[in-house]
Structure 1
Amino acid sequence: MYLFRFTLLCSLLLLSACKTTPTSSTPTQAKTPEPIVTANPDKTVSTQRRPSIDEQTEDVWQRIRSQLTFAPSAHESVQARVDWYLSHPNYMHVISERAAPFLLYVVEQVERRGLPIELALMPLIESDFDTTAYSHKHASGLWQLTPLIAKHYGVKITPWYDGRQDIVDATNAALDFLSYLHKRFDGNWYHAIAAYNTGEGRVSQAIKFNKQRGKSTHFFDLPLPKQTRHYVPKLLAAAQLLRKQQMEFPKIPNHTAIAVLPLEQGVILNTDKAWRKLQTLNPGYTRFPALLDGPDHIVVPALQAQQWQDYVAKLPAMPSDQWQHYTIKKGDSLSVIAQRHTLTVSQLKTFNQLKSNNIKIGDTLLLPILADKQMDYTVRAGDSLWRIAKHFNISVHEIKKWNALSKDVLQVGDTLKLYLSKT
């Protein structure tokens, strides 16, 4: 009996130690319940969840905080990243500004699938919530999808459009991929997230390596690349800071900021000033204001949804002053014409409603006018993106976007594609 009481007492003490200690909060934050967490690193998500407070909280960050389920970690790599965040107090201000249009959408998609809410923080780790981010490994967008993964999950990538930068398609693909990895690694989210960063093969090999040597297969014990060893801790540190409210996460209103509307056909905007915000919300279109060859939807500010629908309904039918006539000449083919105008044959056929590849000399095709001049520029000694942009009266951002550049470094002899306008 004494042994039973002693064992019961130890169990109660252990359970008490696993609970998170509520931190002090302001009166407005006191309504937010403390998240339930689990302490087992191999079972990173608790089976229990608190009732949703989606409609109660006014801040998306607090909506995330109320649903955090990953276990707090005292591992030195996590604490090192916590210290880094705390030493850069303006970092979350930049993140919140970039994330404001998109974070709620990401949160809603994660919730809809019943996935751990921590996954909504991954764009913070992947791209600092920069929709146009490129990496040296050719990954792109908020979720830093590689071309291979993106295309595997049905994301469209063409000379006119890169769906990895589209909030809808990229989020769907990223969450599909993470769900697959979670199943692939037997429900271990740390392993799945690590595999998202470095590839499932490397994580599988690391697990196998440790198993063969009788070592732990916890994430922190796996022999993984340095970048990946820091990747998961970055996510855990951000979640920890949010959970304990150790630094300010500037408020992002918990109400719809964007509307995803159907887009039945391509559009070339003729009022750039009125719809300039669309470039920020739809960065996948590489030749803005041409919204061509993209998905069957468009993202607009929620308050402009009706205005956009009215605008699209009144667009002039093709042709318009945004299209040019091209007369087919001897030796022409759809592939030759398409290549000359940076199109695909499929796009060219779509614009002209062609059902076959057969064309005749003297027939007329419609081609979009997106620039007064298209040119290939060869990088010379002394060139920089800034100098080239200034010379041609374009922006560095446009040059990088047109050429999928992740860095500002150029090599003599490189060829850059430029789209120039008279204005």
Structure 2
Amino acid sequence: MFRTGAQFMLLALLAGLALLNQSRTEPLAAWDNGFADFLAMNSQRGAAPSPVALVGINNSSLVNHPWPWNPLDFSLFFQSALPLKPGVVAVDQVLDWERAIVLPEDQNRKLAQYEKILRDNILRAPKMLLGSTLGIPEDPQVIPPLQEVPLLRNVRGSISEIPEFTAIELQPSEAYRLSSTVGFTNMPLLHRHFNSVPLVLRYRGQVTPTFPLQAVLLWAKLTPDDVTVQIGSYIDLGKKFHIPIDSAGRMRVDFGVPFSRFGLDDLLLASEQKEAGRKPIVPLDQLTNSIVLLSRTDTVSRTIPLAARRNGSPGELFAAAIATIQAQSFIQPAPEWAQYTVIGVFMLLSFRVPRMKKGKTIFCAVLVLAAYGLMALAVFARWLVWMPGVVPVGIVAVCVLFRIVTPDSFGKPKRPVIL
């Protein structure tokens, strides 16, 4: 039986070291990452919104314009966004009405006319980014013709862990590709939670930027030749941005970075209000010189698990990733010395556990964890460093459990027997 404070301190030390070791592997690693996402989304941010705006094709937008959209539906977005002088206009949908977006038969009669209208709008955009996807042929023996894609040539380190593809599965129609830049929207497979996003992929052995990285390149007025990639360490965009990445070319996303977000129907209404000289319902001035991303955010599109255990759309992830790069808000785990310090502090706190009653032990455990959470929020807001979440919760749980299964009387001095 554990009867002294020293024994509880030893128990806390052993539990903390074991949890610290296991928190680097699943499933505890996912729980710690979830705690980091919680800190990111609940910490106080005093910075102004990043210059990226997500214009969502949400449920209300689809009431008057049901999916699938024809080129005329997309043109409405351009007609409202372009007068606001955005720096980059981005659409992550693949604008191909033969394979990617299949229209009902009655709309195909005017498709050529609608496509010309959309093409004219795309030509008016200052810088245009369109979504495309890489893939692998169904028959691996048949290799499709090599196609031109943006390539990053200043790459150092092993690229073996970067996902590789041998074909372009979907891409915009040629008329749109010639007047725009493409960005690949492939998402990593078999992920439980998408708190990171790939910034580079491989096409036929060559490294190519993904959609969010390409958007930032266009916005920062950089070319792929300005990019330096050190696999497993960083991506440098000239002297403007430094982005940490892992060995698979992924960047951790800070979902707490503020950015503008509203529905397409709100944008259309706000544009009409501005033309009429009235105050718009959304801050349209934030779109000027920003990256304006049109993407589906309706219920059907929310298929990937994002932070805070909620489902979201790829467009939401891309917008958060772009905002993370623009704000240079890269969250990092606490260094090892800080993690061992946490174990030491909870060891000292466990010294008093044997002398507490069971009910008081539970109350104090909740109070200590709440105080730790507030401290972790303050540390994150100051340094973008997340303190461990699994270790303190595990230590407290172990100590409380052992206190509950031991009698209330232990730890109290026995009264001398007077004969």
TM-score in same-fold range (> 0.5): no
For normalisation by structure 1, the TM-score amounts to 0.24
Greater share of strand: 2
* CA radius of gyration, larger in: 2
For normalisation by structure 2, the TM-score amounts to 0.25
